[in-house]
Amino acid sequence: MKKVHNFNAGPCVLPQAAIDATIEALKDFNGTGMPVICVSHRSKEWDAVMDETRALWRELLDIPEDYEILFLGGGASTQFLMVAMNLLENKAAYLETGVWAKKALKEAKGIGNAVCVASSADKTYCYIPKDYEIPTDADYFHITTNNTIYGTEIKYDMDCPVNLVADMSSDIMSRPVDVRKYALIYGGAQKNVGPAGVTFVIVRKDVLGKVTRYLPTMLDYRTHIDGLSMFNTPPVFAIFVMKETLKWVKSLGGVKAMHKLNLEKAELLYNEIDRNPLFVGTAAREDRSIMNVCFVMAPGHEDLQDEFMAFAKERGMVGIKGHRSVGGFRASLYNACPKEDVQALVDCMQEFEKLHK
C-alpha cells in the first residue's frame, strides 16, 4: 500500500492499532467464531464492548457519575434537533460561529424560541465572537467548539449562567475538558474517536424531563439511557472501532498527552504558514483551531493554487483541499494524524516555495 499523508476532515485518519484490532475482530470477534459485525448486540460479548467503551469515555474525560454516555445513530446533525426537543421549553440561545452552528440554530428555531446572541458571519466566520451576553432566562446556551470549515476553535471551557450545550464533533478528546461545566456534549465520532456511523452524547441527567411537549420515543434521550444505548440495534462496527481508538488514546497517556501532541502539530504548521511568503492563514490568530488548519495562497500568488494542489498530491498529501464553500486549503490534524505527516506537509510547502522564488 502506497504511503500517503491523510489530512481529510472526516472521515479521517484512525490509529493503526485500532485498525489492526478491528481487522482481527472482523475475522473472529473474541473467539466467537463470528465477525464483530455479525454478533448479536444482545450477547454478553457485546455487552462487554459497550461497558468498556463507556468506561473509557468516563476515564479519559473524567465524566462524573451524574452524567450518562450514549452512543446513537443519525450523526451530529440529528442532535441539532434532539437537543432542542429535549431541552428547549421557553428559550434557547446560540452562538453562531460557522455552518454547523447555523444549522443547529435553524433546527432549534423549528422547535421554539431560539435566538442568536452573536455571529461571526460578517467576516465569513473567521473569528469567534467575544463581546456578547448570554440571556439568563435561556434554557440553554449552545456553542460549536471547533469549526472545521473555517478553522476556528473555542479552546476553553467557559463559565455559563445557564445550561451549556456543546457540539464537540471535531475536537473531542483533543484536549482536557471540564465536563462539569456542560449540561450536554455531543458530536459525530468520525474526527477523533472513531469512524463515521456513531454519535456520542454526554448528558447530565437532571436536565432531562423538563419539557412539556411530546417527545417521540427515538428522540427522547431517556429512551436511550434506559436502553443503555441499545433500545434499537446500535451501530456495532463503529462502536467497536471507537473502543479501540479510545484504548489507543489511553495507551499514549490520555487526553493530556494528546493535547500536548496536538499543540505541537498545530504550531509546526502555523509557523510555516506564517513564515512562508506564498501562504497566509485565514482564521484570526487568537482563534486558530488546533484541529483544522485553514490557509490560502498569499495575495499576489492566487494563480498558484491549482499548481500547489497538484504538487502536494504528487507528494502524497491527501485531503488538503479546503471546503467547497470557502476554497483554499485545509489540513485536519486530528489525534491520529502523526506529527511526521505534518512535517511532510511543511517540507512540501518549503519545496514549493523554492520553485517560485
Q: What is the DSSP string of 186-200?
A: EEESTTTTS-TT-EE
Using an 8 Å Cβ cutoff, are 267 and 293 in contact?
A: no
Answer yes or no: is 204 within a domain: yes
Residues marked as catalytic: 100, 167, 191
Answer yes or no: is 10 within a domain: no
Domain range spanning residue 78? Answer: 16-251
Q: Which amino acid is at 9?
A: A
Using an 8 Å Cβ cutoff, are 99 and 149 in contact?
A: yes
Structural domain count, the chain:
2
Residue 328 sits in a domain of what CATH number? 3.90.1150.10
Same domain, 191 and 323: no
Q: Domain end: 218, 251, 284, which one? A: 251
Please tell me the predicted confidence (pLDDT) of residue 3. 84
Adjacent-strand bridge partners of 280: 296
- Residue 155 CA to residue 145 CA, distance in Å, equals 7
Same domain, 177 and 258: no
Q: What is the helix (H) or strand (E) element at residue 257, kind and residue range?
A: helix 255-275
Cα–Cα distance list, 24 to 20, 150, 198, 271 (Å): 6, 38, 21, 40
Same domain, 123 and 204: yes
Residue 91 sits in a domain of what CATH number? 3.40.640.10
Same domain, 207 and 223: yes
Same domain, 264 and 152: no
Please tell me the predicted confidence (pLDDT) of residue 290. 98
pTM of the model: 0.97
Please tell me the predicted confidence (pLDDT) of residue 312. 98
Same domain, 195 and 113: yes
Three-state SS at 220: coil
| Nine-digit cell string for 92 | 434557547
Same domain, 24 and 40: yes
Q: Domain end: 251, 269, 303, which one? A: 251
Please tell me the predicted confidence (pLDDT) of residue 126. 97
Q: Domain end: 236, 251, 266, which one? A: 251
Same domain, 284 and 240: no
Please tell me the predicted confidence (pLDDT) of residue 1. 63
Same domain, 134 and 189: yes
Same domain, 247 and 268: no
Question: Strand (E) positions, the chain?
Answer: 5-6, 67-72, 92-96, 114-119, 140-144, 146-147, 152-153, 163-167, 184-188, 199-204, 279-281, 292-297, 317-318, 329-332
Burial 258-270 (b: 16+ CB within 10 A, else e): bbebbeebbebbb
Same domain, 240 and 300: no
Dihedral of the CA atoms 84, 87, 91, 97 (nearest 10)?
-50
Mean pLDDT by 10 residues, the chain (357 residues): 89 96 96 95 95 98 98 97 98 98 98 98 97 97 97 98 98 98 98 97 98 97 97 97 98 98 98 98 98 97 97 97 92 98 98 95
Please tell me the predicted confidence (pLDDT) of residue 168. 98
